[in-house]
Amino acid sequence: MEGPTMKFDPKIVVLCGAISAEREVSIRSGRAVANALPGAQLVELDENSLPEWLNASEHVVFPVIHGDYGEDGQVQMELEARGIAYAGCDATASRLCIDKVATKKIMRSAGVPAIPEVAFSGDAKPGARELTQSLGESLIIKPADKGSSVGLYVLNGLAEVEAALKKLSVDGQWMAERRLVGREMSIGILGGKALGIVEIVPKQGVYDYQTKYTKGSSEYLFPAPITPECARRIQAAAEKLFASTGCRDFARADLFLEPNGDFYFLEINTMPGMTETSLMPKSASCLGLSFTTLVDKMIGPALIRARQGHAS
């Protein structure tokens, strides 16, 4: 006779959209995930709040909401308040990982390589000379709490740094880092285990928001053409980063590999993109996982949590 955990068969609801700079990409991700889950219901949110009808007795949620509301812990907090099981990192880990400065502190304490940064608020900007003296004249300035390379400035020389600082919104949180020279890479983590490493080769310029989500604007090499020993070091560090930031189920980490073999992690993304150009599916494919299999493995732990909660 089947136990209560086997009898409970919740409906999967894929949430996407919401209001942020990454709304359109989120909708594309959500549609792809829903198509991979037979019987799933796709909900494209038009506001940053949950539908009233969502409830723990009927539903399990797969949120694919990039940027604000999805990656900052808000939707996770609302789901937890209603007792609804959901896929991905919990509210605490999401709030931590959207903050790149706080995440880098955790990286350093865990022994994960991270480059120095200067963090500042938009209403208390450092001077351009101060930044260049501290970090060099080739700099990256980016929001400290946004994803998808939104608001990224790639700068060379004092004049460009001065001009960029003038453009920064006064109510934002920002960070500056020296510009890394080398190969940009990304790696998925599924159930705490590192997947394959993807190398990103933009056809021109840098891997910014437009390049990231425009089909054909970048070349992707997966698995990345690096030595097995280098791959093992990156995978071990990615797993350490995932564990130390309290992530669960899945995430994706981004890093730079310099010519001398040193690598530095930039951030960990708790709600990775799942579009046709996205990095998480490419990382999984290195281990032979199809998109459908990946999505099944991503939702699996949430279904287990839902059934356990229903049985208790």
Q: What letters, b where the CB count within 10 A reaches 16 and e where it falls short, cover 84-103?
A: bbbbbbbbebbbbbbbbebb
In this predicted structure, what is the pLDDT of residue 149? 56
How many C-beta atoms lie closer than 10 Å to residue 233's C-beta?
15
Q: Residue 4: its pLDDT value, please?
A: 45
The pTM score is 0.88
| CA distance linking residue 271 with residue 71, whole number of Å | 6
Share of the chain above pLDDT 70, in %: 92
- The answer to whether the CB of 117 falls within 8 A of the CB of 104 is yes
70 has a pLDDT exceeding 70:
yes
Q: What is the average per-residue pLDDT within 144-168?
A: 84
In the prediction, which pLDDT does 125 show? Answer: 92
Q: Which residues are catalytic?
A: 22, 148, 213, 252, 254, 267, 269, 273
Residue 215's pLDDT band (boundaries 50, 70, 90)?
low
Identify the band that residue 204 occupies on the pLDDT scale cut at 50, 70 and 90.
Answer: low
Answer yes or no: is pLDDT of 89 > 70.
yes
Res 216 pLDDT > 90: no
**What are φ and ψ of residue 102, in 5° steps?**
-65, -40
Task: Indicate whether 262 pLDDT > 70.
Answer: yes
The confidence score (pLDDT) of residue 40 equals 97
What mean pLDDT value characterizes the chain?
Answer: 91
Domains along the chain?
Answer: 4-95+292-311 (3.40.50.20), 117-178 (3.30.1490.20), 181-290 (3.30.470.20)
